Structure formats: C-alpha cells, structure tokens
Amino acid sequence: MITSNPFAELSAFIAPGVMQAYVVLMILLVIGGTLLDVKHKKSAQYFFEKGKSLKKLAKREVGGAEKMSIAVSTLANEVLASGEFENPDRRKSHLLMMYGFVTFVVTTAILIFGVEGETSSFVPLLWHLGALMVCIGGYWFWFKIRVDVRSEGHQWYDVHLSDLFIVSLLLTTTLALVWSLLGSMLIFALFIAAATTLFGTVYWSKLAHMFFKPAAAFQKKVAKADGSMDKLPELPELTDPIVKERYPDIPTYMGETPPYMGLGIKREAPTHY
C-alpha cells in the first residue's frame, strides 16, 4: 500500500489534469499569500531600510566572499539545522515537521504529475514517510511542547488564529495517511479541504515566516561582521584587564568570571503557575 501511488486509483474519478491544476493553484496561493504578507507587514521595505541604516554604522566593508560565507552559515545553522531553538525537544520537533513537510509536498507534486506514467515505489514511500514525520513532530509539539500545563498553563484545546498553520498542517498529513489507508472519498475530501486551508491561508498563518527568518538571521550576522552590531551597543570584554581596572567593582556583583555567571533563569524549569 505505501509503495503504490495513492493518486493513481484516484485518477479514475478525477482527471489527472484537474489534480495537476490544483497543485499549480496551491503554489500560486502560497506565492500570492506571501507577497500580500510582505506588502501588509512591509517586510521588504523594513529589511531594505534597516540595511541602509546599518551600512552607515558599519566599521568595515563586508566583501562578497564573506557575505557568501555568512549566507552558507545561515543556511546550514538557522535553516537546515534550526539552530535558533535552544530547547532540544522543540528543535527536534521542528526538524521533523520541516523535513517531513518538504518531503510530503515535493513527493505529492511528483506523484500527481506522474500519475499517468510509471512511478518508482520509492516516491510513494517517501510521501508516506514525510506525512508521518510531520505527524510525529507536530503532535509532539502540540500535546507535549506547546501544551505545558504545569509550567505555562496551556490546554491542548486552546486553539487561536496563530495556530492556523500547525492545525491545518496536522490535519492535512493525518488525513492524507488515513485516506491512503482506507481509500475513502470522504476522507479525501476532508484532506483536500485541510490542504486548501493550509496553502490558502498563508496571509494569516505562520507559513510566510519561513522566508523572513533566514533573511533576518543573515542581516544580523552581516551587521555583526561589519561592526554595526544591529544598532546594539558594543559590549566590552569583561575579563579585559583594562575593563577590570576601569570597573573594579565588577567581581562584586558579577563574580570573578563574568562570562560564566551560571545558569541564571535556566537553573530550573518554570513551575510557578
């Protein structure tokens, strides 16, 4: 079952051209929703104007080769490895959802556009695996990480507009797996409804932020490299003898080794609700 194209049998009821047109429509909805989001939030204008203001504060010129290195570093750490998450469970959950989602979407397009020809059994396997990865990471996030009654007071059924993306994503992949297993047209209709919601509500969901976060991370790293420091004050090295001489009371309130002042708020899990 998992090595056969789930859309092949469907072609007896729905013309392949209709399924392919639907995929193209979803791509256009994502592009349109993202552009509307950029226009509404003025994200492109913000990055452009911030870049110009930071350039005036730069202490050195960052060359093309160095910018390319920073871009590669941003892609590897912030995008591919989700390095912005300090919580290891949240990071693992995000990686499962991200790679599962990309695998699921790409293989869906391959299966639908190749529905009239021969399709390798490896592609349907990846389709099911991608959906399963999203479900594992998503439900782990929803019931364990997002819902932390003990420390944050959330309930699993507290659903808000900000949850539109994760809810529609989980419904899409869950219903896809159930439809593949049962072959029910009702389940397929619900699957399409969930997928349409997922890709058609980019303007209101968090899907568009996947394009902004890498840009923000890249700009922040360039600002650090050129010395503009993202308009933040440059912090002195507290262990520097000159700084110690100028501020002799540092050990009094920061200890003898300021950069290693202990766990702070990470000393214990938040359990004070």
Segment 254-269, tens digit of pLDDT: 666 666 666 666 667 6
On whether the CB atoms of residues 90 and 141 are closer than 8 A, the answer is yes
Selection from 209, 127, 132 nearest residue 164 by Cα: 209
Q: Which residues contact 173 (CB under 8 A, 6 or more apart)?
A: 100, 101, 104, 130, 131, 132, 134, 135, 138
On whether the CB atoms of residues 85 and 94 are closer than 8 A, the answer is yes
On whether the CB atoms of residues 134 and 99 are closer than 8 A, the answer is no
pLDDT score, position 233: 67
State the pLDDT confidence band at 3, using cuts at 50, 70 and 90. Answer: confident
Buried residues in 225-260 as b, exposed as e (16+ CB within 10 A): bbebbeeeeeeeebeeeeeeeeeeeeeeeeeeeeee
- Per-residue pLDDT averaged across 63-72, rounded? 90
* Proportion of the chain above pLDDT 90, given as a percent: 39
pLDDT tens-digit profile of 5-40?
999 989 889 999 999 999 999 999 999 998 888 888
Instruction: Please tell me the chain's helix, strand, coil percentages from 3-state DSSP, rounded to the nearest 5.
Output: 70, 0, 30
For the cut 60, the answer to whether the pLDDT of residue 135 exceeds it is yes
Tokens of 233: 């004050």
For the cut 80, the answer to whether the pLDDT of residue 153 exceeds it is no
For the cut 60, the answer to whether the pLDDT of residue 273 exceeds it is no
Spatial separation of the C-alpha atoms in residues 14 and 32, rounded to whole Å? 26
Most confident of 72-76, 114-118, 176-180: 176-180
- The overall average pLDDT reported for the chain is 85
Tokens of 153: 């007071």
Of 42-46, 189-193, 217-221, which range is least confident? 42-46
pLDDT tens-digit profile of 156-185?
788 888 889 999 999 999 999 999 999 899
What domains can you pick out in the chain, each with its CATH number?
6-231 (1.20.950), 237-272 (no CATH)
Look at the pTM and tell me if it is higher than 0.95. no
Spatial separation of the C-alpha atoms in residues 157 and 148, rounded to whole Å? 12
pLDDT score, position 40: 81
DSSP assignment letter at 253: H
